[in-house]
Amino acid sequence: MSSENPTVEVRKGEELNIDAVDAILKDLLPDLKGTPKVAQYPSGASNITYAIDYPERRMVLRRPPTGDKPKSGHDMHREYRVMTALKGIVPVPNTLYYTDDASVIGSEFYVMDRNEGHLIHTKIPKDWNWSPKETRQLCENFFQTLVDMHTADYKAVGLGDFGKPEGYVSRQILGWNRRWEKAWTEDVEKFEDVQGWLVDNMPETERGAGVIHGDYRIDNCILRQNDPTQIEAILDWEISALGDPMMDLGNTLAYWIQADDPDFMKLTVRQPSQAEGMMTRQEILDFYAAKTGADVSGFQFYYVYGIWRLAVIIQQIYARFYRGQNDNPRFKDYGQMTSALGNLARYKIKTGQL
């Protein structure tokens, strides 16, 4: 990966039994030689990701976080399976090995080849010298990849039993509300009004079914080394599913902060969506509708859902810190981020804006 995604020494309490992993990999890959070097990627706030570097091959290992966690939110086999199935349809890493045998490193895990390229976060690097034209091309390629994912024939690639699309919307709304109750901490408002609005405004039926990523952002993609307007690989598939693609688009646009948004929305910026040349949320919705023929009327529900779901995810991470199950100091302000997202959902409900 590029210098935008540096590794660090493995954090205390998250050490990896590399000898056990090394033995498995060398049995799997007879040509693998040498002693691996292990480092950790610091950017993820959910699952734990390690770089495993051999002299002639570089890999990545993923495992769930320590402490209490919602099982469905950190399902390594789900992530491994969907990437394996979608290879050749959308850009994904090459998967190598998965096990649920916790005796190896203390949890389930999987290993994949590392995709070389660029991982960017809130800004496009200045030394790329991009004009709005290149930025727009990245934006269109990013959302075209989402279209390709949503319109893939999931049954044909062996994902027909990956989930149950029927009833997906209600399961998500009620499920995230339940997760909120479990993760709520007394220093954060309950936002019962937001939860109630989502329950009261659920559409009666889904608007289709497809593979959905659940966390689709530019900073969850590796960009191609020699042409970073292209997507090299999509990462972080652990909450992927079969369901209504409108829900996935709502998740993605909840992350999409644009240049003219109010300052309090910009507190949650995770990707360079504000750069000159990027589409607005409305332009993205129009682009998606044109490419898929999907009915995007009443999209405010899906957008507010995406904001609320993100608030719950952040709160789950914060709750582990608050309860002493994770001592990483960068999570200490996540409760404030939860509150910002809850208030953003309220603002969007009140204004009806996208």
We report the CATH number of the domain holding residue 45 as 3.30.200.20
Domain membership of residue 9 (yes or no) is no
Chain centroid to Cα 341, Å, comes to: 17
Residues 6+ apart with CB under 8 A from 327: 13, 321
Are 296 and 265 members of one domain? Answer: yes
Q: What is the 3-state secondary structure (H, E, C) of the chain?
A: CCCCCCCECCCCCCCCCHHHHHHHHHHHCCCCCCCCEEEECCCCCCCEEEEEEECCEEEEEEECCCCCCCHHHHCHHHHHHHHHHHECCECCCCEEEEECCCCCCCCCEEEEECCCEECCCCCCCHHHCCCHHHHHHHHHHHHHHHHHHHHCCCCCCCCCCCCCCCCHHHHHHHHHHHHHHHHCCCCCCCCHHHHHHHHHCCCCCCCCCEEECCCCCHHHEEEECCCCCCEEEECCCCCCEEECHHHHHHHHHHHCCCCCCCHHHHHHCCCCCCCCCCCCHHHHHHHHHHHHCCCCCCCHHHHHHHHHHHHHHHHHHHHHHHCCCCCCHHHCCHHHHHHHHHHHHHHHHHHCCC
Backbone dihedral angles phi then psi of residue 87, each to the nearest 5 degrees: -60, 130
Name the domain count of the chain.
2
Q: What is the CA radius of gyration of the chain?
A: 20
pTM: 0.89
**pLDDT in the model for residue 126:** 96
**pLDDT in the model for residue 238:** 85
Domain membership of residue 12 (yes or no) is no
Range of the domain at 95: 18-115
Are 28 and 96 members of one domain? Answer: yes
Token pair recorded at residue 25 = 């990999």
Token pair recorded at residue 55 = 């002299």
Nearest-angstrom CA–CA distance, 211 and 66: 28
Residues 312 and 215 sit within 8 Å (Cβ to Cβ) = no
Residues 145 and 152 sit within 8 Å (Cβ to Cβ) = no
Domain membership of residue 328 (yes or no) is yes
Burial class (CB in 10 A: 0-12, 13-18, 19+), 153: exposed
Are 167 and 264 members of one domain? Answer: yes
**pLDDT in the model for residue 310:** 93
pLDDT tens-digit profile of 236-268? Answer: 898 899 999 999 999 999 999 999 998 888 888
**pLDDT in the model for residue 3:** 42
Are 135 and 155 members of one domain? Answer: yes
**pLDDT in the model for residue 267:** 80
Are 130 and 110 members of one domain? Answer: no
- Which of the listed residues 57, 89, 115 is the one where a domain comes to its end? 115
Nearest to 231 by CA among 125, 322, 310, 141: 141
Nearest-angstrom CA–CA distance, 11 and 58: 20
**pLDDT in the model for residue 237:** 92
**pLDDT in the model for residue 5:** 64
**pLDDT in the model for residue 2:** 44
> Whole-angstrom distance between the N-terminal and C-terminal Cα of the chain?
34
Are 38 and 136 members of one domain? Answer: no
Are 202 and 304 members of one domain? Answer: yes
Are 68 and 212 members of one domain? Answer: no
| Positions of the chain with pLDDT under 70 | 1-5, 43-46, 67-74
